[in-house]
Amino acid sequence: MTRLRYDRHRAEIVAQTDLLRSHIKGADLSRPVPSCPGWTVNQLLRHLGGAQRWAAEIVRGRASAPPPDDFFRDLSGYAGEDPAELDGWLAEGAGLLADALREAGPDAEMWTPLPENAGRGSTFFARRFAHETVIHRADAALALGVEYVLDEEVALDALDEWLELGSLPVMFEYHPELRELLGPGRTLHFHATDTAPEAQAEWVVDLTGEAIEWRRAHEKSAVALRGPLTELLLTVYRRRPAHRDGIEILGDAELLDFWLDRVSFG
C-alpha cells in the first residue's frame, strides 16, 4: 500500500493530459460540463492548462507566495475555440510543469496552499497536479460521452490524496460547515469491488472524534459504498452521483448524502 513516487506523479501530468487531448479531437468544445457547472469543455481545458502553467511558475521560481491566478479562474472569455488550437497548448502546459518538477527534484521547497507540515513544495505540486489532471480529464470525458479508464495505481493514489487533503484540520477554517459532519457513530466505508485483495482498496472515513480521520481498512461502518474503483473515485470527488447503477449503498444512505454534500478540499 505505497503511494506513487514523485517521478510517477510527474509523468502522469503528461500522460493524463495526452489522454485528455485524445478525448477532444474533433469534439464540440461548447458542450457544458455537468460536473463543473457553468463551464463548457472549452473553459475546462483553459482552466487546466492555465493551472498547470501557474504551478510551473511556482516550481520553477521556488516562489515564496502564489502568483496571480485570475487567468485560469475567470474563464468568461473562452468560447468558440477549435480543438486543434488547444491540442498543442495543452501539451505545452503539461510539459512545462513536468520539466519544472524534473529540474526541481522532490525536495525543493516553495510556497504551497497548505500548512508547512501538510505538504512540501515540489512533492505537493507533482501529486496534486497529477490528480488535478486525472479528475479534469474525467470531467471532459463525462461531458463528451467518451470512455474514461484510469490505471489502478493512479486511482488508488488519487483517492488516498483526496482523503488526506480533505481531512486536514485547516479545512475546518476553509469550510466551517465540515464540523457539522462530526458526531457519534458516523463512519463511512468505501470498498472497491474490482481490485485484488493485495490492492487493499478499502477506506474508512471516521467522523466520530474531534477531527475527520481516514484509513485504509475493512471495518463495519454506518454506511458502506461498494463499486468499481474508478467509480468510487468519481463519487467521492462528486463527479458522479452515488445513487446510480453499479454502485451499492449499504446502511445509512442519509449519512453518505450528508457527507457528500459537505466534503471538499478546494
In 3D space, the residue among 35, 232, 237, 39 whose CA is nearest the CA of residue 139 turns out to be 35
- How many Å from the N-terminal Cα to the C-terminal Cα in the chain? 26
In 3D space, the residue among 133, 19, 185, 40 whose CA is nearest the CA of residue 87 turns out to be 19
Residue 126 vs residues 48, 64, 99, 210: alpha-carbon distances, Å: 14, 17, 11, 30
pTM: 0.95
Same domain, residue pair 135 and 225: no
Note the pLDDT of residue 65: 94
Note the pLDDT of residue 118: 54
Same domain, residue pair 109 and 181: no
Q: Give the DSSP letter of residue 177.
A: G
For position 50, which CATH number holds? 1.20.120.450
For position 251, which CATH number holds? 3.30.1050.10
Q: Is the pLDDT of residue 32 over 80?
A: yes
The residue written with cell numbers 521547497 in the block is 109
Domain that holds residue 247: 170-262
Establish if 18 belongs to a structural domain. yes
Establish if 158 belongs to a structural domain. no
In 3D space, the residue among 132, 106, 131, 133 whose CA is nearest the CA of residue 121 turns out to be 106
2 pLDDT tier (thresholds 50, 70, 90): low
1 pLDDT tier (thresholds 50, 70, 90): very low
Same domain, residue pair 106 and 137: yes
* Beta-strand pair 202-206/213-216: antiparallel
Establish if 159 belongs to a structural domain. no
- Per residue in 184-241, pLDDT tens? 999 999 999 999 999 999 999 999 999 999 999 999 999 999 999 999 999 999 999 9
Note the pLDDT of residue 151: 97
Q: What angle do CA 46, 22, 81 make, to 5 degrees?
A: 35
104 pLDDT tier (thresholds 50, 70, 90): very high
Q: Which of 88, 119, 149 is the last residue before a domain boundary?
A: 149
| The total number of structural domains that make up the chain | 2
| % of the chain residues with pLDDT over 90 | 88
Mean pLDDT score of the chain: 94
In 3D space, the residue among 149, 128, 164 whose CA is nearest the CA of residue 234 turns out to be 149
- Per residue in 111-156, pLDDT tens? 999 876 556 799 999 999 999 999 999 999 999 999 999 999 999 9
